[in-house]
Homo-oligomer: A and B are copies of this chain.
Amino acid sequence: MPAVGKRVWAIAEGWIPATSHGPAPQLTSHETICVLNAGEQDARIELTLYFADREPVGPYRFDVAARRTRHVRFNDLTDPAPVPRETDYASLLVSDVPVVVQHTRLDSRQAELALLSTIAYGES
């Protein structure tokens, strides 16, 4: 099986609600970037965040080992800076090997949660 996916992925939507209902961490309002590395080489990932009115922040670096998936909450990113809540952002992921990327939000600002998800935009 050759590696599956693309090396560059973009997510134009991004917004983390500031409040939550329900037990943490599962029902904490959050956004997640899900990365699948189905290939035989570890993936070195660089993630950059874009904002409406200031320079991009990043890269955030993490690895996804060969034959593994990693679901990273944007809420948990800290280096080089945490992701501000209730702020429009977008993200660009660059990998050194092909991977597949999906984006998900759980919004628990109200008593009953809401979900959204989409495949990201991949190229190269």
Q: Which residues of A line the B interface, CB within 8 A?
A: 1, 4-5, 8, 10-15, 22, 26-27, 32, 34-38, 48, 50-53, 55-56, 67-71, 86, 88-90, 92, 94, 99-105, 107, 109-123
Contact = CB atoms under 8 A, between A and B. Distances in A.
A119 B99 CA distance: 16
User: Chain A interface secondary structure, helix, strand, loop or mixed?
Assistant: strand
Contacts of A22: 110
Contacts of A36: 10-12, 50, 90, 92
Contact of A121 (B1, B53, B100): B100
A69 to B, nearest CB: 4
Contact of A69 (B52, B101, B104, B115): B52
